[in-house]
Chain A
Amino acid sequence: DIQMTQSPASLSASVGDRVTITCRASQSIVIDVNWYQHKPGKAPKLLIYAASNLQSGVPSRFSGSGSGTEFTLTINSLQPEDFAIYYCQQSHTTPTFGQGTKVE
């Protein structure tokens, strides 16, 4: 299986900050990476698909980039509702998730 390694595991940020989360795949996955937001007690939410495409209804402060093995999720001007755990996931082969990044 393809391993997805996320960093950092957690980060401390304030409202208005720019936040960057990185995900590295154990082999090339082209652009087959998605990003999700997960809040306690709620269903995960798709934010970005195919590395850089914003899912419908997701605020434009979220963006994704990368290809091959290195991918980034950026949140510009962090909002109070953005404090959550973020996961990358590869859809190139049998799906696997990164370990998650807690934004607090």
Chain B
Amino acid sequence: EVQLLESGGGLVQPGGSLRLSCAASGFTFRSEAMSWVRQVPGKGLESVAFLGFIAGRPEYADSVRGRFTISRDNSKNTLYLQMNSLTAEDTAVYYCAKGTGASSTFDSWGQGTLVTVSS
């Protein structure tokens, strides 16, 4: 059974940093693309960062490019999202999502971790 377990969310001040982790199990992590998708309260889903299973060029939403960095450690079956220069607009539930092969078709999702940016 595929399991994705996010951690690292919490309260952070504007301008601060946070690193999210997603521990994956139940599938061959190194063979699947992965993504971070967020939902701002009352708004829709937004894919903020996407990374193929080969350590190629990550893809970012315009709203986070230059501030967020997605990475993966295939030896630890873990996906990361380093978030810097956070603003109130980054307050959201962040989901870890598994792609299918190289595709950004997300067939499994974690339960999400809440990030709140507030002073």
Contacts and interface: CB of A to CB of B under 8 A. Distances in A.
Contacts of A94: 47, 50, 59-61, 104
Interface string B94-118: 0101001001111101111000000
Contacts of B62: 1
B46 interface: yes
Nearest to A92: B104
A96 B95 contact: no
Interface stretch (A15-23, A41-49, A61-69, A70-78): A41-49
Given A1-B62, A91-B104, A44 B109 contact: yes
A97 B112 contact: no
Contact of B45 (A46, A55, A100): A100
Interface in B22-57: 35, 37, 39, 44-47, 50
Chain B facing A: main interface SS: strand
A43 B107 contact: no
| Chain A CB within 10 A, most for which of B37, B95, B106, B109 | B106
Contact of A97 (B47, B59, B111): B47
Given A34-B106, A43-B109, A97 B44 contact: yes
Contacts of A85: 44
A99 interface: yes
In the A-B complex, the 10 residue pairs with the smallest Cβ-Cβ separation, listed nearest first, are A43-B109, A95-B104, A95-B47, A100-B44, A91-B104, A94-B59, A97-B45, A49-B105, A46-B107, A99-B44
Interface of A: 1, 34, 36, 38, 42-46, 49-50, 55, 85, 87, 89, 91, 94-100
27 contacts: A1-B62, A36-B45, A36-B106, A38-B39, A38-B45, A43-B112, A44-B37, A44-B45, A44-B97, A44-B109, A46-B105, A46-B106, A49-B105, A85-B44, A89-B45, A89-B47, A91-B104, A94-B50, A94-B59, A94-B60, A95-B47, A96-B47, A97-B37, A97-B44, A97-B45, A97-B46, A99-B44
